[in-house]
Every structure is written in C-alpha cells, then in structure tokens.
Amino acid sequence: MLRIAVPNKGSLSETAADMLSEAGYAGRRDAKELHIIDERNGVEFFYLRPRDIATYVGSGALDVGITGRDLLIDSGSAATETAELEFARSTFRFAGPAERFSDLADLEGVRIATSYPILVGEFLERHGVSATLVTLDGAVESAVRLGVADAIADVVETGTTLRKAGLSVFGPVILESTAVLISSPDEKPGTATLLRRLQGVLVARRYVLMDYDVPARLLVQATALAPGFESPTISPLHDPDWVAVRVMIPRDDTNNVMDALYELGARAILVTTIHAARL
C-alpha cells in the first residue's frame, strides 16, 4: 500500500485535501484524524505537520507527500521533488526597515529572524554573506519591532504582513516556492498513478472543453484561434456546409476565445468544465 503524507494544518492542508478528493481518494472526516486507510485505492494517508512531511518521506518511513518546496529544502531531507502542484505559490524574501536595508551586502554581520534557518543559511553561504540567524516558529515579521533581529527572511505572498510590520523586501529572491509532491529516494510502485491522478486534477482545473459549430470553409481560421491540446475533434453536421468542433482551451482564455470565434462566424459555442482527465 502506498503511504502518503498530507498536511494536517496550515495553508496547504485544505487545498491538498481538495485535490486528493478530486483525484478520487478518500479523505478524513474530522480534523483530528491522523491516519486513514483508503482500501478502494490501495493507499494510506498520514496527516502530518507540513514541516515534518519531508523528514518522513526522506527517511523512507512514508513513500510520498505533499508539502511546500521551501519546507522541503529547509528540512535538508533526502526526499525529492516529483511535481509542482500549482497552489500555495509564494516567494521567500529578505525584508527589513527600508532606510537600513537595500541590498544583500547590508546583511553582513546583522541578525536575521527566520523559521527557515537551513534554507536561509545555505543561501547566505552561497552568496558569501555572514550573518547571525535567529530561529523563530512563526510571525517573524514582529522580530524587528521587538528588537530580537535587524531583518527577517520569510514567506511573502501579497506582502500585506510585511507592510503592516513596516518592513520592505530587499535583495534577491531567495526562492520561488509552491506546493509540491515529494517522493522517497527509492520510488514506490503506485507513485506514478498518484502523480497521474493529481496531474489530471490540475488539467481539469486549468482547462475547459469548448464545443462550437462553424461553417466548414472557416474551419482553418477557427482552429487557429483555439488549436486545442493536441488536435481539435471535428465532427460532421447534418448540414454539409457546417462542422462541429470540440477543443480543450485554457480556462482563463474562455471568453476571449468565445468572442473571437463568434466574430469569425462560429455559433452554438458551449463551454463545459472538465471533471477529470488523463492526458
């Protein structure tokens, strides 16, 4: 049975559980459950702190897991990143009072608060900066105001938390992070199926199906507007001058493509969501 680690709390947990559910797996009924067996799919789920997931998977105690790339790197674990899961996107940045910090060199000899000491320590070492790291559990943005550090290194998404703390980002981007699927060093059978299912969920979220009718003489122009994933499906209609087209298009392009097809002469343009996919 494939043993899968899933975040039990924090900003990864809800979307991770939703993705697994959309991929056809069982989920836990209440937030206190730490382990469930999904007999039908031949997998076991362990609900763990996102920070610990790379440790379990890297040691081989569990086979695969969902966590953040930043947490994977900071764990120093032997687990490897198998796929990006396209949620919990964030950047990892240095921040401090704007009047004191403007580039990386300003960090020489100062105190930097972070919850990611390995990630930050390795970055500073690579860039030849020597600073003192102050390791905190969270809410590191308060560390400067409270005097335990001069600058911070933390997750930034909208920048709201930094702004409220009177801090500004500076220096290079330390890391672009996202939720990832990670695997133990010796890949277990069943990992490929899980990955294919999760990729199916990503496709179903990213694309929609578009059907339309178009005069056959405009088919080349129409399919140029929406070429589809591989190749559009073209079906004959009772009226020999018209054809029906079915094509996958990126969800974000839906209305622009509909407008362009309508202007070209396509009619009966219908859009449906994709429930599941294997490409």
Ligand X SMILES: O=P(O)(O)OC[C@H]1O[C@H](OP(=O)(O)OP(=O)(O)O)[C@H](O)[C@@H]1O
Ligand Y SMILES: Nc1ncnc2c1ncn2[C@@H]1O[C@H](COP(=O)(O)OP(=O)(O)OP(=O)(O)O)[C@@H](O)[C@H]1O
The footprint of ligand X (CB under 6 A) covers 11, 138-139, 141, 154-161
Residue 217 has a CB neighbour count (10 Å cut-off) of: 11
What are the angstrom distances between the C-alpha of 86 and each of 18, 66, 83, 91, 189? 13, 12, 9, 14, 24
Q: Directed axis angle between helix 13-22 and helix 191-206, to 10°? A: 100
Of 103 and 176, the one with the shorter C-beta distance to ligand Y is: 176
User: What value, to the nearest 5°, has the Cα angle with vertex 45 and ends 77 and 81?
Assistant: 35
Distances (CA, A) of 226 to 180, 229, 242, 259, 268: 30, 9, 17, 12, 16
Is residue 11 within the footprint of ligand Y (CB under 6 A)?
Answer: yes
* Interface with ligand Y (CB under 6 A), residue from 2, 25, 51, 54: 51
Which of 2, 6, 19, 88 binds ligand Y (CB under 6 A)? It is 88
Can you tell me which of 24, 76, 138, 185 binds ligand Y, judged by CB under 6 A? 138
Residue facing ligand Y at closest CB distance = 68
Q: In what order do the strands lie in the sheet with 80-84?
A: 35-38, 43-48, 2-7, 64-68, 179-183, 80-84
Complex with ligand X: residue 113 or 214, whichever CB lies closer: 113
Q: How far is the CB of 253 from ligand Y (least distance, A)?
A: 25
DSSP letter (8 states) at residue 103: S
Least distance (Å) between residue 113 CB and ligand X: 11
CA separation for the pair 125, 109 (Å, rounded): 13
Is the separation of the CB atoms in 95 and 152 below 8 Å? yes
Q: Give the nearest distance from C-beta 8 to ligand X in angstroms.
A: 14
> For ligand X, which is the closer residue by CB, 63 or 141?
141
State how far the Cα of 100 lies from the Cα of 97, in Å rounded to an integer: 6
Q: What binding mask, one character per residue, do residues 162-181 give for ligand Y by CB under 6 A, x or -?
A: ---------------x----
The verdict on 113 binding ligand Y (CB under 6 A) reads: no
Phi-psi region for residue 160, left (φ > 0), alpha (ψ -120 to 50) or beta? alpha
142 binds ligand Y (CB under 6 A): no
The answer to whether 50 contacts ligand Y (rule: CB under 6 A) is yes
Applying CB under 6 A, the span of 25-33, 66-74, 104-112, 261-269 interacting with ligand Y comes to 66-74
User: How many residues in the shown chain lie near ligand Y by CB under 6 A?
Assistant: 15
Which residues lie near ligand Y (CB under 6 A)? 9-12, 50-51, 68, 70-71, 88, 90, 138, 155, 157, 177
